[in-house]
Amino acid sequence: MAGVHGTAPDLLARRSLPAAWAANRAVAPQALVLHDPARGWLTNADLECESAAVAGRLHAAGLRPGDRFLMSAASSAGLVVAHIAALRLGLVVVPTNTAYREREIAHIVNDADPAGALVDDEERAAWIRAARPGTLVVGVEVTLPEPGPGTVPPVLDTAAPDDPAILGYTSGTTGAPKGAVLSHGNLLASAEAVAHAWRWSAADRLLLCLPLFHMHGLGVGLHGTLLTGGSAVLLPAFDLDGVLDAIARHEATMFFGVPTMYHRFATSPRAGELRRLRLCVSGSAALPADLHVQLQERAGQRVLERYGMTETLMNVSNPFDGDRRPGSVGVPLPGCEVRLDGEGGREGEIQLRGPNVFSGYWRNAEATRDAFTADGWFRSGDLGALDPDGYLRILGRAKELVISGGFNVYPREVEDVLAAHPAVAEAAVVGTPSAEWGEVVTAFVVPADPAVPLRLDDLAEWCRQELAAFKLPRLWHVVDGLPRNALGKVVKHELRAPGALEKTDLR
């Protein structure tokens, strides 16, 4: 199988992100780094002092290098300080979606076995304590007792490239979400690669409204900002007017978003205000080619689309200088190798190799073995095609993952929740294309009693109690049965075929 690769500088020369960040703080202690709507600007000196203090309190509370530390909170300066502190101390951060409900939180807590957790919500804190009694649970400000007199302070910023840094839970096509173990070297290599490819420098200011429990916001936006010595303006969520106002007020130079955000920009009368940015990046789901063209015409932005995933961070990107091709995710980033397993190596499953690629799943040898080829390439589960000049196009997914608004939705999980409802005999979940969301979660349900009409409002509320909001079905189809093959497996591609089944929509 033929492959392509990106030419790389030494991506691991600085050993780890905490070590590189510490060096940046020492060189420019008064540089503005992070703006929080509540606190205003924080300098490098602020981050150095506050993160060291938080690391000291966590260490005094008994946390040690290698311990897992779950973090689930809205974006804020306090969350960033705690994240830096955890990595400086050698803890393994477990970023966790703030929308998760009790069942979802319990799975991660039971699997990751965290020694500590940081949350900004009392209900989430109670769920964590219920799932693992004795877990140290703190708020965003980490108000723990200060180390006592004579306490030996922890040694910080000494993590080696192979040491674990993040345990990122990712959806698959079978079984429960798995924890991908990302090393300090993986994080550093990915951040160095995008900084090099996107000409990211200390002069850049990123408008960052992506959540910091997602690798797009955390592993690219925050980590890249701290690595390059640039600055970031945090917003807790995406609000079109708020984002555009903040871009102008803070003289931002970059914006990272998901296709749903760009769809809203493109349809806004304020779209032209994006022209002031030197770079707009889209990821987490495919950017429709027509939206790419529309943004260029209305906003004056040739949005740079890239391709990454939890297990590998960033892999491929359209070039900063050169053709940013609609419908393509570009060419391999520095240090990353890409090959396709189909005939001739021009089309097939995308396989990846490089210092950004994780080593395996947490406590799951079988899943780790299945995820890699015999010669060490990671099987992405995505299908792609290589153009003659090396540009990669994503054709679809070998796995059944649904990506809605940039978030991964695991169909089996939604199907299990639906099937537990007494009025449902069986259910199948797929993704339906959407100009705004990329895909919307779509449920096909078979009534348990054909003579009793299904109350879709009741099903929606049932799901709302069990699932994060982004996993909830937005389209509902009530059907007499599900199409199956000779072995009894549901043939999901027939569910997507127009007119294949009678449909009833609840929007």
Enter the DSSP assignment of 362.
T
Residue 450 maps to which CATH number?
3.30.300.30
Residue 382 lies in a domain: no
Q: Supply the pLDDT for residue 488.
A: 60
Other beta carbons less than 10 A from residue 432's beta carbon = 17
The span from the CA of 151 to the CA of 155, in Å, is 12
Binned at pLDDT 50, 70 and 90, residue 323 comes out as very high
Encode pLDDT of 133-192 as tens digits. 999 999 999 999 999 888 889 999 999 999 999 999 985 444 578 999 999 999 999 999
Residue 349 lies in a domain: no
Which residues lie across from 137 on neighbouring strands?
A: 117
Number of domains present in the structure of the chain: 1
Residue 257 lies in a domain: no
Encode pLDDT of 224-282 as tens digits. 999 999 999 999 999 999 999 999 999 999 999 999 899 999 999 999 999 999 999 99
Q: Supply the pLDDT for residue 77.
A: 98
Nearest-Å Rg of the Cα atoms of the chain is 23
Residue 82 lies in a domain: no
Q: Supply the pLDDT for residue 499.
A: 45
Other beta carbons less than 10 A from residue 481's beta carbon = 10
Exposed, middle or buried, 453 (CB in 10 Å: 0-12/13-18/19+)?
exposed
Residue 387 lies in a domain: no
Closest CA to 392 of 462, 454, 325: 325
Tell whether the model's pLDDT for residue 2 goes beyond 60.
no
416 Cα distance to chain centroid: 24
Encode pLDDT of 459-487 as tens digits. 999 999 999 999 999 999 999 999 876 44
Encode pLDDT of 52-62 as tens digits. 999 999 999 99
Q: Supply the pLDDT for residue 491.
A: 79
Binned at pLDDT 50, 70 and 90, residue 501 comes out as very low
Cβ–Cβ < 8 Å for 34, 41: yes
Residue 501 lies in a domain: no
Tell whether the model's pLDDT for residue 498 goes beyond 70.
no
Residue 156 lies in a domain: no
Q: Supply the pLDDT for residue 500.
A: 39
List the domain range (segments joined by +) for residue 492: 402-496
Residue 417 lies in a domain: yes
